[in-house]
C-alpha cells in the first residue's frame, strides 16, 4: 500500500498562491481576459510637423517607422522536482552491509547450533527418562502445547516467530500515541528523514488485517519447503536480506519516477521466498486457496507473478508496490542460481575465525577447527 502525491506549478500569466492551514492547500488563480486594451496612439505636438513642412502621408510613415514591436517572452518550462539520487547512497550502503551481516550472523548461528546439538541430545534423553518417572497429569495444558509445537515442521516453527513479530507490530498500529513513530520507522519512504532502519522494520509492518493475514498465510504455506531447502539459519538470512533489498528497489523506482510515498508490508521478502521455491522446484503443483480444483506448476506461477509486477511498473499501477515485489522475486531467483554458491558456500573462513575465537575463550573447549 502506498500513498503518492505530485504537484506541478506552471508560471505563465497565472498567479498561484498556496496557503497552508492545517493540511489544506488553497489555490487562487487570476482569470485570463480575452480582450486587451488598445494602445494609446501618440499624438504629435501642434506645429511640430506643420513647421517642418511635412504632408499628412509623410507624417503617417514616420510614425509607423517609430513604432517598436515588443517580442513576447517565451513561457518558462514547468518546474520539475529534482530527483535526489544522492539520497540513495546511504540506503545502498546499508543494504550491502545489512545483507553481509545477516549471512555472517547466520553462519555463526549455524556453527553454534551444530556445536550444541550433541549436548542437547543427551539433555533430551535425560528429560525423557525423567518424564517417564514423573506421574502423568491428565489434561495438562502445557503438555498439549508442547505436543502441538513438536508436531510442527522445522520451517513452521521458524516462521512462527516471524508471524508473532508481525502481529505485535500490527497491534502497535492500533495505539494512537504510537502513530507518529510507526509512520516514521515502520513505513519505507525515500522522502523521509529516516531511510535505513525503516527498510528492515517495514518488512514486519502491516496496517490492514487482510494484508497481514494474506502475507502470513503464504509465508506459512512455503515455510516447510524453503527451510528444508536452505536450512533454518540460511532461510532467516535470506528473508531479512530480501526485505531490505526489495525496499531499496522500491526506493530506486520511486525516486526515478518521482512518485514518492510510504510503503509497508512483508510482500517483498515473501516474494523472494516464493520465487526461490518456484525456481528450485519448478514442477511442483500449486493451487489458489479459493480455487483448489485448479492447479498449476510453480514455474508458471512465478512467470505470471513476474509478468504482472512488470506490467504494473510499465503501466503505472499504484495498488501495490510492484517495484518491491519484483525486486524481492529477482533476488530469490538470483540466490538460488548464484547467491548460494557465492555467499553461503564461502562462509568457511568466517566460521574458522569464530571457532578460534570460541576456543581461546575460558571454558570454550578445544577442537581441531572442523565442524
For residue range 124-140, what is the model confidence (pLDDT) as tens digits? 666 665 565 555 555 57
Which grid coordinates belong to 25? 492547500
Residue 77 makes CB contacts below 8 A (sequence gap 6+) with none
Decide if 80 is inside a domain.
no
For residue range 294-324, what is the model confidence (pLDDT) as tens digits? 888 999 999 999 999 999 888 888 778 899 9
What is the band of 281 on the pLDDT scale with cuts at 50, 70, 90?
Answer: very high
Decide if 200 is inside a domain.
yes
What is the band of 141 on the pLDDT scale with cuts at 50, 70, 90?
Answer: confident
Q: Are 91 and 196 in contact (CB under 8 A)?
A: yes
Decide if 56 is inside a domain.
no
What DSSP element (H or E) covers 291?
strand 291-297
Between CA 307 and CA 325 the distance in angstroms is: 11
For residue 230, the enclosing domain spans: 85-118+152-358
Which grid coordinates belong to 195? 531511510
Decide if 140 is inside a domain.
no
Residue 243 makes CB contacts below 8 A (sequence gap 6+) with 199, 200, 202, 203, 266, 268, 269, 328
The residues assigned a catalytic role are 267, 325
Q: Are 248 and 307 in contact (CB under 8 A)?
A: no
Pairing between strand 24-28 and 285-288? unpaired
Beta-bridge partners for 2: 263
Decide if 308 is inside a domain.
yes
Tell me the mean pLDDT in the region 179-197: 92
Decide if 14 is inside a domain.
no
Decide if 301 is inside a domain.
yes
Instruction: Find the CATH number of the domain harbouring 300.
Output: 1.20.1540.10
Which grid coordinates belong to 254? 520511486
What is the residue-averaged pLDDT of the chain? 78
Between CA 116 and CA 300 the distance in angstroms is: 42
Decide if 284 is inside a domain.
yes
Of the chain, the percentage scoring pLDDT greater than 70 comes to: 69
Specify the number of domains making up the chain: 1
The radius of gyration of the chain from alpha carbons, rounded to an integer in Å, stands at 34
Amino acid at each position: 500500500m502506498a500513498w503518492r502525491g505530485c504537484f506541478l506549478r506552471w508560471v505563465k500569466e497565472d498567479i498561484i498562491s498556496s496557503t497552508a492551514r492545517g493540511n489544506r492547500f488553497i489555490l487562487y488563480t487570476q482569470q485570463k481576459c480575452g480582450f486587451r486594451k488598445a494602445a494609446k496612439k501618440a499624438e504629435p505636438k501642434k506645429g511640430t510637423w506643420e513647421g517642418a513642412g511635412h504632408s499628412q502621408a509623410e507624417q503617417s510613415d514616420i510614425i509607423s517607422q517609430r513604432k517598436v514591436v515588443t517580442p513576447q517572452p517565451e513561457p518558462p518550462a514547468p518546474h520539475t522536482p529534482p530527483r535526489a539520487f544522492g539520497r540513495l547512497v546511504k540506503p545502498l550502503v546499508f543494504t550491502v552491509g545489512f545483507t553481509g551481516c545477516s549471512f555472517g550472523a547466520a553462519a555463526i548461528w549455524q556453527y553454534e547450533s551444530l556445536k550444541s546439538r550433541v549436548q542437547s541430545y543427551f539433555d533430551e534423553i535425560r528429560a525423557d527418562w525423567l518424564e517417564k518417572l514423573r506421574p502423568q497429569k491428565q489434561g495438562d495444558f502445557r503438555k498439549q502445547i508442547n505436543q502441538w509445537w513438536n508436531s510442527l515442521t522445522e520451517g513452521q516453527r521458524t516462521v512462527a516467530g516471524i508471524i508473532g513479530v508481525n502481529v505485535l507490530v500490527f497491534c502497535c498500529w492500533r495505539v494512537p500515541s504510537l502513530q507518529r513513530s510507526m509512520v516514521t520507522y515502520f513505513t519505507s519512504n525515500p522522502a523521509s528523514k529516516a531511510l535505513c532502519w525503516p527498510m528492515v522494520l517495514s518488512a514486519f509492518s502491516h496496517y490492514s488485517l487482510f494484508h497481514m493475514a494474506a502475507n502470513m498465510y503464504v509465508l506459512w504455506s512455503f515455510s516447510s519447503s524453503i527451510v528444508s531447502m536452505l536450512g533454518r539459519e540460511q532461510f532467516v538470512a535470506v528473508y531479512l536480506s530480501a526485505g531490505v533489498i526489495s525496499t531499496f528497489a522500491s526506493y530506486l523506482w520511486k525516486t526515478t519516477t518521482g512518485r514518492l510515498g510510504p510503503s509497508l508490508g512483508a510482500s517483498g521478502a515473501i516474494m523472494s521466498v516464493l520465487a526461490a521455491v518456484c525456481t528450485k522446484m519448478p514442477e511442483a503443483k500449486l493451487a489458489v486457496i479459493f480455487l483448489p480444483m485448479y492447479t498449476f506448476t510453480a514455474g508458471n506461477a512465478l512467470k505470471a507473478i513476474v509478468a504482472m509486477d512488470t506490467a504494473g511498473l510499465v503501466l503505472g499501477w499504484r495498488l501495490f508496490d510492484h517495484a518491491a515485489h519484483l525486486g524481492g522475486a529477482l533476488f530469490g531467483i538470483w540466490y538460488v542460481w548464484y547467491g548460494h554458491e557465492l555467499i553461503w558456500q564461502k562462509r568457511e573462513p568466517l566460521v574458522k575465525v569464530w571457532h578460534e575465537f570460541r576456543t581461546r575463550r575460558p571454558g570454550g573447549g578445544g577442537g581441531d577447527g572442523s565442524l
